[in-house]
Chain A
Amino acid sequence: MNRTVLLVLLLAAPALADESRFALKDGEGKQLVEGNCVMCHSLDYIPMNSVFLDRKGWEASVSKMVKVMGAPIGEQDAAAIVDYLATNYGK
């Protein structure tokens, strides 16, 4: 898994340079979000979907990423990610 992710990140290097110009709000759990979500998508997906989701809405989004999209994120980390999103990008 890690090797695949690394390979894709290397291939996508120019796009990553562009997308890394964007930074999430500082807050508890930010590093978890950065460490996990960028495996599959740029972080601008998060502010784009703000501010209109409540905690339940962000829970549903994170759950979809894990259960449908196959993100390898454990329950504890997923809960911390939801906390960060609901606190910083939730209504």
Chain B
Amino acid sequence: MSIDRRTFLFTGAAGLAAAAVRPLQGLAGDPVLGPADLPGGALESSSLEALSGKVPLIKKTWRPPNFETPVSYFDQAFTPNDAFFVRYHVADIPEILPQDWRLRIGGEGLDKPFELTLAQLRSEFEAVEVNALCQCSGNRRGLSRPHVPGVQWGYGAMGNARWKGVRLKDVLARGGIRKEAMEIVCDGADAGVLAKTPDFVKSIPVWKAMEDHVLLAYEMNGEALPHWNGYPVRLVVAGWTATYWIKHVTAIDAVTQPFKGFWMAPAYRIPKGKFPVVDRFLTQETDTSTPITEMVVNSLITNLHQGQRFAANQTVEVRGVAWDGGFGIATVEVTQDGGRSWRLAHLGPDLGRFSWRQWRYLMPAARPGAYAVMAKAINRIGASQTFELNFNPAGYHNNVMQRIDIQVG
């Protein structure tokens, strides 16, 4: 790490002198902790730290624990469990013993409330798997201009995993879901330190809960979920942002009225009509705002960092990942001149429409000089990343094309 940082500082300074396109931004940034676009205090107060069972991750806050995955871990199809990001809203996070865990399923929208043990959940319902990206709604919030309060995430509040579990709809079917059921409310074992702190509880529309790829997951990448990622069971709402992926699930209720709770409103809202999203959560909409739903199309360069230096007369491989809310990635284009010309990247294997898609581009780099590398993903319904930030007060859905300035020669 220290070598990386020295190299980085050196090349950053060299790059600045040669910068033709625009001044480099990387001088005060860090190739691991995050770009200089983060608030200064966020960069300064972050450090690489290891939670129990985790490799060192970017510590944003200790308690509640918010730890970001360094970008280098995204240079592979699946994000290792011990490097998977950690995000909590409340600080009382019990460690759950498998024999003690119970899932309560009820609510006025269900005919017969019931309970499940972990053994029952695993043995009495069909096991299914889905490859899906879990991305925090506020991933990249720290890059928002102007800056907005909240966890100042860089690029790493996300991870791609193979989730195994049972369909939520199969579990609900056992209790007999009524036709007047409107939303499915999900609560986890975590709680606030103070009794008055709003518990982190989320709802999803019944139509979403009935989809095949909404799971109560007990495995991640072939292993039990890490404690910090929701052991023993978490909700997987493939395609939607991670705010709905309740960890340590303990209660599921089918309700016949819109669920009211701080974390549904005013939290996790986007201005109505601001983003080109397709899924709408109508029972929670107001005149001006709507709950965040599926992820917007986005991409990330995973093998280069700001100010990196390469020898001339070679090709530079640019690698990355691209994703959206489940329509699937159609193309990824790469520019080396700050957006004047674009070339198609080669897409890696399709791991399913909820997984991210790896891509790579062999960039001709014969000419010495500064290269402004950017990537742009377009999905199968024609949505594209944006050049300019679509500003919103909570810093959600940041899919501005990332830009990395490198130096050749």
The listed residue (B39, B64, B147, B195) touching A41 by CB distance below 8 A is B64
Task: Tell me the B45-62 residues at the A interface (CB within 8 Å).
Answer: 45-46, 49, 59-62
Q: Given known contacts A15-B65, A41-B64, is B192 in contact with A69 (CB within 8 Å)?
A: yes
A69:B40 contact, CB within 8 angstroms: no
The 8 A CB mask of B91-134 against A (1 = contact, 0 = none) is 11000000000000000000000000000000000000000000
A52:B262 contact, CB within 8 angstroms: no
B62:A39 contact, CB within 8 angstroms: no
A18 and B59 CA atoms in complex are apart in Å by: 11
Is A50 at the interface (CB under 8 A from chain B)? yes
The listed residue (A19, A50, A72) touching B63 by CB distance below 8 A is A19
A47:B91 contact, CB within 8 angstroms: no
Instruction: Tell me the smallest distance from the CB of B47 to a CB of chain A, in Å.
Output: 9
Q: Given known contacts A57-B149, A69-B192, is B198 in contact with A42 (CB within 8 Å)?
A: no
Is B196 at the interface (CB under 8 A from chain A)? yes
Q: Given known contacts A4-B193, A8-B91, A40-B194, is B63 in contact with A47 (CB within 8 Å)?
A: no
Give the A-B contact count at a CB cut-off of 8 A.
89
The listed residue (B92, B151, B198) touching A48 by CB distance below 8 A is B151
Instruction: Tell me the smallest distance from the CB of A29 to a CB of chain B, in Å.
Output: 18
The listed residue (A16, A39, A72, A89) touching B41 by CB distance below 8 A is A89
B195:A19 contact, CB within 8 angstroms: no
Instruction: Tell me the smallest distance from the CB of B145 to a CB of chain A, in Å.
Output: 10
A8:B193 contact, CB within 8 angstroms: yes
B63:A15 contact, CB within 8 angstroms: yes
Instruction: Tell me the smallest distance from the CB of B332 to a CB of chain A, in Å.
Output: 32
Is B152 at the interface (CB under 8 A from chain A)? yes
A52:B194 contact, CB within 8 angstroms: no
A15:B62 contact, CB within 8 angstroms: yes
> Which of A19, A40, A42, A48 counts the most chain B CB atoms within 10 A?
A48
Is A80 at the interface (CB under 8 A from chain B)? no
A39:B193 contact, CB within 8 angstroms: yes
A41:B91 contact, CB within 8 angstroms: yes
A60 and B46 CA atoms in complex are apart in Å by: 24
A61 and B92 CA atoms in complex are apart in Å by: 21
Determine the residue in chain B with the shortest Cβ distance to A66. Answer: B196
A15 and B64 CA atoms in complex are apart in Å by: 10
A70:B149 contact, CB within 8 angstroms: no
B152:A49 contact, CB within 8 angstroms: yes
A48 and B195 CA atoms in complex are apart in Å by: 26
Give B contacts to A, CB under 8 Å.
Answer: 39-42, 44-46, 49, 59-65, 91-92, 146-147, 149-152, 192-198, 262
Q: Assuming A48-B42, A49-B42, what are 5 further A-B pairs, CB within 8 angstroms?
A: A39-B193, A40-B193, A48-B41, A48-B151, A49-B149
Give A contacts to B, CB under 8 Å.
Answer: 1, 4-5, 8, 12, 15-16, 18-19, 22, 39-42, 44-45, 47-53, 57, 60-61, 68-72, 89
